Amino acid sequence: MFKNTISNLGRIRQVVEVLVRYGFEDVVTSTALRRLVSSKRRLTWQHAERPVFETTRWERIRMIIEELGPTFIKLAQALSNRADLLPQPLIDEFEKLQSNVPPFPVALARQIIEQELGQPLENLFSDFEEVPLGSASIGQVHKAKLLTGEEVVVKVQRPDVQEKVCTDLSLLHELVRLTSGFLRKQGLANPEDIVDAFERSMTREMDYTSEARNLEQFRKLYEQYESFYIPKPFREVSTTKVLVIEFVAGCKITDKAQLLAWDLSPEKVAETGMDIYLTQIFEFGRFHADPHPGNVLVRPDGTIVLIDFGMVGKLTKQQKYAFAGVFIGMARQDARGMALSFRRLALTSDIPDMRAFESDLSDLIEDFSTLDVQDMSMSDLADALQEVIYKYKLQVPGAVFLILRALVILEGIGKVLHPRFNTFEFVRPYGARIIAEQYSPENILSEAEYTGTQLLALLQTFPADIRQIMRKVSRGDLRVKVELSGYLLLLRKADQLVSRTIIALLAVAFLLFSGLSLLGRYPTTMPYYRGLPGITWWGLGITAFLLLVLLILGTRRERKA
């Protein structure tokens, strides 16, 4: 841990300077980061006034993230989908973040491809365009043509991205360790877990074989669908740093003029796109998690194509039923049913006041039930649901927020193409279908089999567990472990009080000893100073030292307070 701190010291100082520049002195002065900056500098923080204070605190957090670079931007973009962790104003700022990264030289791209595939570029591609189609923080994309004639896109990872990401992840762990107490006071209960989850996500994103697997799985799921197409990955010429995918020609789904030029109905395209996405969620439980217009293409024959499968969301069967139950409860104006669905959906369902929770959901239902279908907005509903989740600190699966975000994006696309587009009209039949599936004889039988298996396993182990407990009781080996919480601060204060009392008693004892020493008769060898024997001066000196220690401890306690 100490070694990591030393290796990241320069970068940590840079982060501290950025925090101070944007008016976050409290983050530094209230955490272990203050040890990295001199006390002289701290005084200027407390009195300096900067124009940046004219902006809101949430805007300043976004400015800090932008200045710290791509890894921090990606973390903030990931957190923008987690309304259970962050307040809505901060999420709104994080959604403005764009990781605009210039492309790296094509010569480096060629070199990486040849190193990864172990062949000259001419042995792999008959054509390779030098100008990239796009560039991001992890890599960039070039159009090419295989020797067999297929047009492809080649994703090439940046040459130094793994080292930079590893350095920044190490830095993130160190920053969280130094500021964990402060972050918890701000309401962020598990900052270490957030960084761990982000590290796993970044590790998967830097491994292009993961995206290739996602493409293959979706192609298998939708191989019978004529209106939906997923590009083919070429695994034989792909590695962890290079991914070759079939090139698909088409226009953005929001290019209404091009759709009309191809004699396609924009309204029909919008409806098909929403049906495809809801099928992913409610039938397969696996969905493309980033359906912005650049990732959704339309072919001239009306086929919808999804590209960029680096981010994929997953729901288990039970999570799928619970998520559908939230919408069904809202449609039925059933706040209790909606609350129970939320509890089934949450990873931990510790809601201290269920009545207040149901009351808030009832208010939400009432707000939306008075609106006409044309006035209802998925964006407003997503914000309202996320506010409830944040207020009650519900730990729901991250996929839920990806779905809400995706539905908002799709609603925006739909309204560009379809003047009467309404997301709720599409969700309603899927909710009815989910209910039918949940209570179908096959699903009930499956649940009964699972419950029976669990019960049988319990019955098999129960006698052995009871025998083991009784054996320990008879031998007197049964131990009960009790953990108390909330008493550490009291014990620390009691320990401080006892220590100071002992020092005070010692000071009084040496003071009394010094007074009594004046009554003694000493040999002629005893030194005297100002008429007092040396032993008396020793007692007074020790008394003064102990009083000085008490004074320092008291001053230190006031400073901490």
Residues 463 and 496 in one domain: no
Instruction: Please indicate whether residue 502 or residue 22 has the higher confidence score (pLDDT).
Output: 502
Q: How far apart are CA 488 and CA 313, in angstroms?
A: 41
DSSP label at residue 21: H
CA 322 to chain centre: 22
pLDDT at residue 116, as a whole number: 93
How would residue 535 be classed by pLDDT, with cut points 50, 70 and 90? confident
| 251 bridge partner residues | 298
Query: In angstroms, what CA-CA distances link 420 with 128, 367, 412, 413, 416?
Result: 44, 21, 12, 12, 10
pLDDT per residue over 160-212, tens digit each? 888 888 888 888 888 778 777 777 666 565 677 777 777 877 888 888 999 99
Helix segments in 392-477, DSSP class H: 398-417, 423-438, 441-475
CATH of residue 107: 3.30.200
Q: Which of 98-107, 296-305, 325-334 has the highest mean pLDDT?
A: 296-305
Residues 67 and 79 in one domain: yes
What's the mean pLDDT when you consider all of the chain?
A: 79
Residue after which a domain boundary falls, among 72, 100, 128: 100
Farthest CA pair distance, the chain: 122
Residues 398 and 536 in one domain: no
Q: Which of 11-20, 138-147, 434-443, 545-554 has the highest mean pLDDT?
A: 138-147
pLDDT > 80? residue 398: no
5 CB-contact burial (10 Å; exposed 0-12 / middle 13-18 / buried 19+): middle
> For a pLDDT cut of 90, what percent of the chain falls above it?
20
C-beta atoms surrounding 543 within 10 Å: 19
pLDDT at residue 51, as a whole number: 47
| 143 bridge partner residues | 153
Q: How far apart are CA 461 and CA 62, in angstroms?
A: 54
C-beta atoms surrounding 274 within 10 Å: 22
Look up tokens 């999420």; give the residue. 91
Helix segments in 300-422, DSSP class H: 317-331, 335-345, 354-369, 378-391, 398-417
pLDDT at residue 334, as a whole number: 87
* Cα three-residue angle 510-512-518, rounded to 5 degrees: 105
Residue after which a domain boundary falls, among 78, 100, 122: 100
Residue after which a domain boundary falls, among 429, 462, 480: 480
In a domain, 350, yes or no: yes
The whole domain housing 433 covers 253-439
C-beta atoms surrounding 238 within 10 Å: 20
Residues 206 and 279 in one domain: no
pLDDT at residue 245, as a whole number: 96
In a domain, 339, yes or no: yes
Q: How far apart are CA 431 and CA 337, in angstroms?
A: 14
pLDDT at residue 257, as a whole number: 92
C-beta atoms surrounding 49 within 10 Å: 7
Q: Which of 166, 232, 186 is nearest to 57 (CA)?
A: 186
Helix (H, G, I), strand (E, B) or coil at 211: helix
Residues 197 and 169 in one domain: yes
Strands in 10-98 per DSSP E:
none
CB 81 within 8 Å of CB 56: no
DSSP label at residue 33: G
pLDDT per residue over 206-246, tens digit each? 889 999 999 999 999 888 888 899 999 999 999 999 999 99
DSSP string, 301-324: TS-EEE---SSEEE--HHHHHHHH
Q: How far apart are CA 234 and CA 231, in angstroms?
A: 10
Q: How far apart are CA 390 and CA 187, in angstroms?
A: 10
In a domain, 370, yes or no: yes
Instruction: Please indicate whether residue 439 or residue 94 has the higher confidence score (pLDDT).
Output: 94
Question: Which pair of tokens denotes residue 499?
Answer: 């220590």
In a domain, 444, yes or no: no
Q: How many CA atoms lie within 13 A of 532 on its CB side?
A: 14
Residues 150 and 271 in one domain: no
Question: Which pair of tokens denotes residue 208?
Answer: 């292009």
pLDDT at residue 234, as a whole number: 95
Q: Per the structure, how many domains does the chain have? A: 5
Q: How far apart are CA 326 and CA 8, in angstroms?
A: 45
Question: Which pair of tokens denotes residue 458?
Answer: 């319990």
Residues 82 and 108 in one domain: no
Q: Which of 3-17, 68-82, 249-263 has the highest mean pLDDT?
A: 249-263
Q: How far apart are CA 23 and CA 185, in angstroms?
A: 18
Residues identified as active-site: 290
Query: In angstroms, what CA-CA distances link 170 with 11, 164, 422, 448?
Result: 11, 10, 45, 47
DSSP label at residue 374: G
Question: What phi, psi does 528 have (nearest 5°)?
Answer: -120, 145
pLDDT at residue 43, as a whole number: 41
Average pLDDT over residues 257-267: 93
Q: Which of 44-58, 359-373, 427-441, 546-560 has the highest mean pLDDT?
A: 359-373
Residues 343 and 474 in one domain: no
Residues 462 and 540 in one domain: no
Residues 215 and 141 in one domain: yes
Residues 96 and 106 in one domain: no
In a domain, 561, yes or no: no
Residues 156 and 95 in one domain: no
In a domain, 523, yes or no: yes
Query: In angstroms, what CA-CA distances link 369 with 237, 439, 466, 561?
Result: 54, 27, 54, 51
In a domain, 239, yes or no: yes
In a domain, 39, yes or no: yes
pLDDT > 90? residue 155: yes
Q: How far apart are CA 161 and CA 240, in angstroms?
A: 13
Model pTM?
Answer: 0.65
Q: How far apart are CA 45 and CA 47, in angstroms?
A: 6
CB 62 within 8 Å of CB 156: no
pLDDT at residue 7, as a whole number: 55
